[in-house]
């Protein structure tokens, strides 16, 4: 008697189909998951891009948060790094693609600062701006560093009476003309005239606070009204970004510049704010700023923002850059100003 046995064949066949189906399902699920995962990361990337492109949407009340964001806006691009790591861990194609948004927004807002500056011309003035610090223990060395950049004008803030003679002595050989009012001063290779104090003292600050001057520089290209200013400091605390005095001082300085009768104007100073900070808009809205170079100047030990500024009217500010550190908590900045 012959028995036919085919046991095992049917179960093997019936098990293969579900296994194959399960494999296809996993493949489809994995493919779909790459696009459905990471939605939170994508939303955060979109918000970062919006803040980079439109920082003005953040209100300045309460706590001047809009100004705070604008002061450190270039650093907002670093948010892409943790978002990128999260997107990789989540294996999310959607999240990875969404990171292009903040990258493009950052490049649009700040990428131009990396571009090459135009070639210097014969009508350029080289200027240096520096808050020398009222506790600087090496005024003479600081002066030599600034003069070594070959400027036509040097603007200084936080000049204290004890250190002033050292700056005057060190700068005298190359800068025959200088004017000092209060704690700010200007040294020049060209004659100066019509110098006066510019009152930028906010209400509530005691008498004797003098941090602004205006003078006329007689250059080979004509007269230039030069302003040197040191606006009040700002603070970041539990109540937000305390900048009310700084903003009021910027308004007063802006009003003085608007009333200036000399066509060409250069403003040099520690403005305690970046050119993107809306608190400085009464001043910056009527002046040209540098479109080349970051030149973060404060704090000198780890610069986070450029609060030392070179601004101009009826003139173009070229690439701005920092000079080597001095005995100050600020880095000096220098730029070429083309008189147009």
Question: Do 161 and 210 share a domain, yes or no?
Answer: yes
Phi, psi for residue 212 in degrees, rounded to 5: -145, 140
* Domain presence at residue 282: yes
Q: How many whole angstroms separate alpha carbon 165 and alpha carbon 196?
A: 21
User: What is the value of pTM for the model shown?
Assistant: 0.84
Per-residue model confidence as pLDDT tens digits over 109-148: 888 878 766 665 657 899 999 999 999 999 999 999 999 9
The CATH code of the domain that includes 144 is 3.60.10.10
Task: For residues 164 and 187, state if they share a domain.
Answer: yes
Q: Please tell me whether residues 213 and 300 are part of one structural domain.
A: yes
The answer to whether residue 246 is domain-embedded is yes
Residue 8: inside a domain: no
Q: 86 vs 43, 46, 76, 79, 290, CA distance in Å?
A: 13, 15, 17, 11, 36
Minimum mean pLDDT range among 18-27, 67-76, 259-268: 18-27
What value does the mean pLDDT of the chain take?
89
Query: pLDDT tens digits for 2-23?
Result: 555 555 555 555 556 665 555 5
Encoded tokens for 19:
């296994």
The total of structural domains in the chain comes to 2
Shared domain check, 123 and 79: no
Identify whether residues 325 and 226 lie together within a single domain: yes
Q: How many CB atoms are located within 10 Å of the residue 253 CB?
A: 25
What token pair was written down for 11? 């179960």
Q: Are 81 and 212 in a shared domain?
A: no
Of 113, 148, 177, the domain-final residue: 113
Query: Residue 106's domain spans which residues?
Result: 16-113
Among 113, 128, 150, give the residue marking a domain's end.
113
Own/partner contacts of 55-63, CB < 8 Å, gap of 24 or more, are 55/276, 56/278, 60/278, 60/279, 62/239, 62/240, 63/239, 63/240, 63/241
Last residue of a domain, one of 113, 146, 175: 113
Residues 195 and 134 in one domain: yes
For residues 274 and 258, state if they share a domain.
yes
Q: Which two tokens stand for residue 82?
A: 């943790």
**Please, which pLDDT band fits residue 29 given cuts at 50, 70 and 90?**
very low
- Cα 289 from Cα 316, distance rounded (Å): 8
Same domain, 275 and 242: yes
Are 236 and 156 found together in one domain? yes
């Amino acid at each position: 008697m012959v028995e036919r046995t085919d046991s095992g064949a049917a179960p093997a066949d019936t098990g293969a189909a579900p296994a194959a189906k399960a494999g296809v399902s996993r493949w489809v699920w994995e493919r779909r998951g790459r696009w459905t995962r990471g939605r939170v990361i994508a939303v955060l990337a979109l918000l970062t891009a919006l803040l980079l492109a439109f920082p003005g949407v953040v209100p300045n009340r309460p706590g001047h948060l809009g100004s705070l964001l604008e002061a450190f806006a270039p650093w907002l691009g670093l948010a892409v790094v943790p978002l990128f790591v999260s997107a990789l861990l989540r294996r999310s194609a959607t999240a990875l693609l969404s990171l292009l948004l903040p990258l493009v927004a950052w490049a649009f807002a700040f990428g131009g600062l990396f571009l090459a500056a135009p070639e210097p011309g014969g009508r350029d003035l080289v200027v240096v701006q520096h808050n020398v610090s009222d506790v600087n223990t090496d005024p003479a060395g600081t002066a030599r560093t600034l003069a070594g950049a070959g400027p036509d004008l040097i603007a200084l803030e936080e000049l204290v009476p004890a250190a002033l003679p050292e700056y005057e002595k060190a700068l005298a050989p190359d800068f025959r003309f200088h004017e000092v009012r209060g704690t700010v001063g200007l040294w020049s290779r060209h004659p100066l005239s019509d110098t006066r104090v510019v009152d930028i003292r906010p209400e509530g600050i005691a008498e004797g606070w003098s941090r602004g001057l205006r003078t006329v520089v007689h250059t080979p290209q004509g007269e230039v009204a030069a302003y040197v200013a040191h606006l009040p400091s700002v603070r970041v605390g539990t109540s937000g970004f305390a900048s009310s005095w700084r903003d009021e001082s910027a308004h007063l300085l802006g009003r003085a510049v608007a009333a200036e009768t000399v066509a060409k104007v250069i403003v040099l100073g520690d403005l305690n704010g970046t050119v993107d900070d809306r608190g400085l808009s009464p001043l910056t809205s009527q002046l040209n700023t540098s479109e080349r170079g970051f030149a973060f100047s404060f704090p000198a030990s780890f610069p986070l923002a450029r609060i030392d500024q070179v601004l101009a009217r009826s003139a173009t500010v070229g690439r701005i850059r920092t000079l080597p550190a001095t005995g100050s908590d600020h880095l000096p900045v220098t730029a070429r100003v083309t008189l147009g």
